[in-house]
Structure 1
Amino acid sequence: MRFILTVFCFLLMVGAFAQPGITEMQQAQQNLSSSFFSAFDCALVIATLLGLNGAIKIYHNWQMGKDRIDADVAAWFFAAIFITLSGAFLRALFGI
């Protein structure tokens, strides 16, 4: 029984040596930080275009006299807040 337990512990130790080290983790963070800003900028451009589209839609409905545009305005406003906060959250999450 002790022999099986010793072999099992040895196999666990071998698996632990196969994990990536600090150098690999720093390289992964560097790769992520180099591509994150271009993806973040692209996301901001897309968010801006969609935000303008929503604002124009709401303005058009308002000028046409559509009743109850309050829900559209609230949805547009909270979507803009969500997009702004999600960028900050992702930057904090990845440590960039």
Structure 2
Amino acid sequence: MKKTRKTLYAALALLIISISASAQDGNAGINEATNQVKSYFDTGTNLMYAIGAIVGLVGAIKVYKKWNDGEQDTGKVASSWFGSCIFLVVVATVLKSFFGV
């Protein structure tokens, strides 16, 4: 029984030592990942602005068609498309200012 406890304690000690050694390399990995994400952030923000512009154009065409057809829910459709475009632009701007990139 004592021999198995000693073996268990030795294995536990080795595990703790290996985890602490890996944690030091982990910090470097986390810093590298952070730098890579920051390098793609401006491109992602510009992509969100482009998607917002495309959604806005599609929405404007859809609202124009409904308006010309005389449908009653034109205002509701216009507000929902306009809201989605504003949402995309605000999210991109807030993320950019929040992460300080």
The TM-score, its normalising length taken from structure 1, stands at 0.72
2:17 maps to which of 13, 16, 21: 13
Contact 2:55 2:85 survives alignment (8 Å)? no
1:32-61, CA deviations, whole angstroms, 9 ceiling, x for partnerless residues? 222221222122112201211101211221
Q: Distance in 2 between matches of 1:18 and 1:41?
A: 37
Partner in structure 2 of residue 82 of structure 1? 87
User: How far, CA to CA, are the matches of 1:53 and 1:6 in structure 2?
Assistant: 66
Aligned-residue RMSD, C-alpha: 2.4
- Using CA pairs under 8 Å that are at least 6 residues apart, name the structure with larger relative contact order, 1 or 2: 2
1:33 corresponds to 2:38: yes
- Aligned-pair CA distance for 1:77: 2.5
- Alignment-mate amino acid for residue 29 of structure 2: E
The number of residue pairs the alignment matches comes to 94
> Is the aligned partner of 1:63 residue 2:68?
yes
TM-score (norm 2): 0.70
More helix by share: 2
Task: Determine what percentage of the aligned residue pairs are the same residue.
Answer: 22
In structure 1, stretches of 5+ residues that fail to align are none
Unaligned segments of structure 2, at least 5 residues: none
